[in-house]
Structure 1
C-alpha cells in the first residue's frame, strides 16, 4: 500500500452487512405488493416485527417505527406536549436535527455544556434548569454515553421528561442496561451513517401509553388507527395534527434484517476501538475521550484529546498525509472543529436565531420572551469550546482489521514523535 493511499474503509457501519437477508426481506414485501404498513394485498408485517424486536431488546412497553430519526425527535417532542413557552435543554455537541426539532415545536433550545465523555455535563444541566424547562434532550454522541443515569435522576427530580437520542449509539449500553431504556422516550436512527441502516428510518420507544398513543397519532395523520388500519377520529384526547412520518414496509424489512446483525456490528467496532485506544495511549499528552463503560461502548468512534489546539492542528494533517484517511465520499480523521453541524456554533440558523418563516418564531413568540438573552455563538459553552479546539476524531468501521488499526497507531506515534510528543 502506497504511503498516501487511504487506509480507512468508508465509515458507514451497517452498509457492510447488507446481504442476502435484506434482499430476501425486501423482495418479500415487493412480491406481496404491500409496501404500506397499515393495509395492502398481503401484509408481511415487517414494521410490527421490527417494533417487537426493539421492545424486547430494550425491555420497553412500546416501540414505533418511523421514517427517520429526525422525524422521531419531532414526534417525541409533540408527544411530550412541548411548545411555545417551553425550553428544551440540549448539549452543545449534537446534530442539527436535535435543535431543529425543538425550534419546529415552537420551543426554545437551552444549551448545556459537555464534559470529557462528550455528552451532557450533569453539573451544568443542574445549573441551567429553569421554571421554563420541560424536557432534557440527552444525546449519546459518537457511539457511547456519559452519565445518563445521573442526568435522568436530576431531570426527574425537577419534574422534567428525558428524551434519549440514541441515533449514534444504537446497540450500546451503560452498566449492563441498553441505551434507549433510560429516558421517558428514546429515539433511534437507521440512516446510512448509523450502526445499523435501512438508508433512512427510525424508531421511538417508551413505556407510557399516553406518550405512545400521542406519538402514533402525530407520526401518522393526527389520529389513531383501528385493527383494520383505518383512522379513528372520535377520541377527543387523540385529535392532533400528524406529519406523515410512517415507516414503510420496505424500510422495515431492511431494518428488521439489520437489527439481527447489530450486536455483531457493534462487537466488531468495539474490538477495534479498544485496540486503537490502547495503542494510542502511550503518546505523551494524548487523552482518549472518557468512556464510563468501555464494555458498553458501541465502538463507532475514537475521540482523541490533544494537549492543545496547535498540536491537534498539526497531528491531523500529518496523519492524513500519511494515509489515515478514507475515500473521497468519506469523512474520517478530522479535527473536531471541522465536524460541521455537530458543533452548536456551526449551526448558523441557531446562532442567528432564524425562524421557520419571516415571522421569526419561535424567537419572536411572546411566550418565549424569557429566552431573549440566550446565546448560541461560540463562547457560550467554555468546556465544549475547549474540547472541540483540541480533539480529533476517528470513525471506526466494523471492517477495519487489526492490521489496519496497528498501521494507524504506528502513523500517529510517528507523527507525534516528529512533533516532540
Structure 2
C-alpha cells in the first residue's frame, strides 16, 4: 500500500513495508492464567514509512485492542544494567541540565520511579507531578512535593507554571504524535521558559540491527531522529538536541516551546533500509523456526525477557508453545504469569535449573553481561544465544 498520509508531516508519501496478522494487541499485560493470556485482544501490523520525513507508523493500529490499566506492567528497573542507564539519565538532568529547585511534570510516569528520583535526589529541592492513568500507589507523597494524577494530560494550561516536562516511552504508543506533542505545548502556555525532554525507541536502530521482534502493536509510532524533530517542530517545540542513547536503541530529544518554528523534513535512507528489512524478515522467520525445532529436540529452550521483545519473539516463532518451554524475567511482578497471545509461562531465573533448560535466547545485547553473571552465580550451565548478534545467522546447535 502506498500514498498513505503521514501522521507526522502530513504528506501522502507513506508506503507499507511489513505486515503481520493476529499479533497481541498489548504486550505488557499481567495475565495470571494461560487462558487469560491467550484471550488478550489481537491486532495487526501494517508498518509504513514516510518517504518525506522518515517517520514509521502502524497503519493498522487499533486503539480498542490495547489495554492500559492497573494490569499494565513494563518496569525495567529489576535489571542492574537498565538501572545504571536510568541513573545516568537522572544524573544528566540534575548535573548537566541543572534541574534543581524546579517544578517537573512527567507525562506518562508509569510507576513514578523516574519522577520520584528527580524529586528525592540529594539537595535538588524539586517538586513533581506525574500524569498516568496506569499509576499504582499513593497519589501524594513527600509532604506534597510529589503528586500523581491518574489521568492523561489535558492540554489545558497547567495549574502553575512548570520548568521541565519529561515524557519517556509514551509517544511511541500514540498514533497522532504531533497532537500529543501539541498537548504538551498547549499545557506550557504559561511556562514559556520550560524545557521538554522526550525519550523513545529509534526505528533506525531496529531496522539496521534487523531486530524483527521490535515491531509490535503497542508501538504504533516509531521515529528517526529527523522525524522526531519534525514532529516537535510541527507542535511548536524548537529542538535543541537529539541523540541516540542506550546503545543506540533509544532517542533522547531536548526542546523548548517557541513561536514560528520552522519545520524541517529529512527522510534519510529509511525507506531503503525498511524495504531490505522486510525482505530479510521472511527468510529469518523460516530459518529460525527450523533452528528452534532442532534446538528443542536437543533440550528445553527458554527466552530471556517477558517484555515486548520477548512477547513478540515467541509469538512469531512459537505461537503454539511447542518449542520454547518458558520465558525468564527478573521482574517479580511478571513471574508466575503468562505471555500475552502465546501463553508461555513466565518464570524467575532460578527456575532454569529446575527445568533443565539447554538453550537460552537473549533478546537484548545490553543485558548480556548481567545475565551471564547471574547465571554464573546461580550455577546454571546453559547455551546463551544473543539473538540480535545472530539474527541472520542462527546456528543454535553446533
- TM-score normalised to structure 1 length: 0.31
| Higher strand proportion | 2
| Higher helix proportion | 1
Greater relative contact order, per chain length (Cα 8 Å cut-off, separation 6+)? 1
- TM-score normalised to structure 2 length: 0.32
